[in-house]
């Protein structure tokens, strides 16, 4: 018997969603893509375990909305990666889901047509196709985990995962992270609290059991082994940066006190650059200088970058969208990105061997 007066009162509909198995069958993992993921994950684990002295850089658009421009960016990044690969491991930032403070476009999976039609079924398949295209270039991809279901659709194509400042404190996201196949970067809280991220790393390192789905799309009790490659991402908070030497040293001390490896990634965006993309190169230069001066806890950076600088509102006529320009947070342009990464590679090459 249904009880419409008390059950699902505020639910308008339950639309069918293809299972992970169905979407993966339509966009199957290729040998080349699988090898790119394996190599990317192995490299990041080795960096975090201090077996590889290189620095990793998660760089790319704030969000993907145009797969053509996104793949254009990926090809450019792959060429740059081949050039600086002896010093830097480049991971393309591929974000499909955008948490909103109030309202706004929630990302390529949620609304791929950008018209409030919310064809999540199509968005998930298109997102998987994009990740496949990136992986087949030989380029690793990083993304943000926002729900416990998407990893079953996309997880085999992800090399690095972020848990955002809004969700690091969430028990659900700590549980998800404990079962992810990738290293996971936990951002400090929006107020700058690093304790939230440290607690998340500790929690995710242990086994958990929680509700999720399996590859057939059936409800399942997910039982995890724990993920030992969690690390902190400093992104500033409450309008204040925390990439400076004092903040980094305090983060190191907190990690050591928690008996965790002192692995720290700096997000050059958000409060660390006061949400001004033109300041991201200054943040990265400061981080590189800290490494040159002997810091061994800094293992990577994040950069919000696109083909064209800045950002743009989503117009009613999507044909008016500017090619290669963010529709979410503002980014640095490709020329600036190249300079940031090339400069970092030049400055780090001679000091990286000392980090092991």
Each residue's pLDDT, cut to its tens digit, for the chain (356 residues) gives 668 889 999 999 999 999 999 999 999 999 999 999 999 999 999 999 999 999 999 999 999 999 999 999 999 999 999 999 999 999 999 999 877 656 689 999 999 999 999 999 999 999 999 999 999 999 999 999 998 999 999 999 999 999 999 999 999 999 999 999 999 999 999 999 999 999 999 999 999 999 999 999 999 999 999 999 999 999 999 999 999 999 999 999 999 999 999 999 999 999 999 999 999 999 999 999 999 999 999 999 999 999 999 999 999 999 999 999 999 999 999 999 999 999 999 999 999 998 87
Distance CA 220, CA 166 (A): 26
Q: How far apart are CA 308 and CA 241, in angstroms?
A: 25
E strand intervals along the chain: 55-60, 88-93, 141-144, 160-163, 184-187, 209-213, 219-223, 230-234, 264-267, 298-304
Strand ranges inside 235-297, DSSP E: 264-267
Query: Which sign, positive or negative, has the C-alpha torsion 304, 305, 308, 309?
Result: positive
State the CATH class of domain 20-44+55-349: alpha beta
Class of residue 45 by CB neighbours under 10 A (exposed 0-12, middle 13-18, buried 19+) = middle
Collapsed DSSP state (helix, strand, coil) of residue 129: helix
Q: Where are the strands (E) in 259-323, listed by range?
A: 264-267, 298-304
Let me know: does 332 contact 305? Beta carbons within 8 Å. Answer: yes
d(CA 353, CA 199): 31
């Amino acid at each position: 018997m249904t009880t419409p007066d008390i059950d699902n009162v505020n639910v308008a509909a339950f639309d069918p969603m293809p299972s992970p198995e169905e979407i993966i069958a339509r966009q199957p993992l290729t040998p080349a893509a699988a090898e790119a993921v394996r190599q990317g994950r192995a490299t990041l684990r080795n960096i975090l375990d201090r077996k590889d002295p290189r620095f990793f850089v998660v760089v790319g658009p704030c969000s993907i909305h145009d797969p053509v421009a996104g793949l254009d960016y990926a090809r450019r990044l792959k060429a740059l990666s081949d050039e600086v690969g002896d010093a830097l491991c480049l991971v393309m930032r591929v974000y499909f889901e955008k948490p909103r403070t109030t309202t706004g476009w929630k990302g390529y999976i949620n609304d791929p047509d950008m018209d409030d039609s919310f064809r999540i079924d199509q968005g998930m398949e298109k997102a998987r196709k994009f990740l496949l295209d990136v992986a087949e270039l030989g380029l690793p991809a990083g993304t943000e985990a926002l729900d416990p279901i998407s990893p079953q659709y996309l997880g085999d194509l992800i090399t690095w995962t972020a848990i955002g400042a809004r969700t690091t404190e969430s028990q659900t996201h700590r549980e998800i992270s404990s079962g992810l196949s990738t290293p996971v970067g936990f951002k400090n809280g929006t107020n700058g609290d690093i304790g939230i991220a440290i607690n998340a790393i500790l929690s995710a390192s242990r086994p958990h059991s929680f509700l999720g789905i399996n590859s057939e799309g059936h409800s399942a009790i997910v039982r995890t082994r724990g993920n030992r490659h969690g690390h902190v991402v400093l992104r500033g908070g409450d309008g204040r940066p925390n990439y400076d030497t004092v903040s980094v040293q305090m983060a190191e001390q907190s990690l050591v006190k928690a008996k965790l490896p002192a692995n720290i990634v700096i997000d050059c965006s958000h409060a660390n650059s006061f949400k001004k993309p033109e300041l991201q190169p200054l943040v990265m230069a400061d981080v590189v200088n800290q490494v040159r001066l002997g810091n061994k806890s800094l293992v990577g950076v994040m950069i919000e970058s696109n083909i064209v600088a800045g950002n743009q509102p989503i117009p009613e006529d999507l044909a008016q969208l500017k090619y290669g320009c963010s529709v979410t947070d503002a980014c640095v342009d490709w020329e600036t990105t190249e300079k940031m990464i090339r400069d970092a590679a030049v400055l780090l090459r001679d000091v990286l061997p000392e980090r092991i």
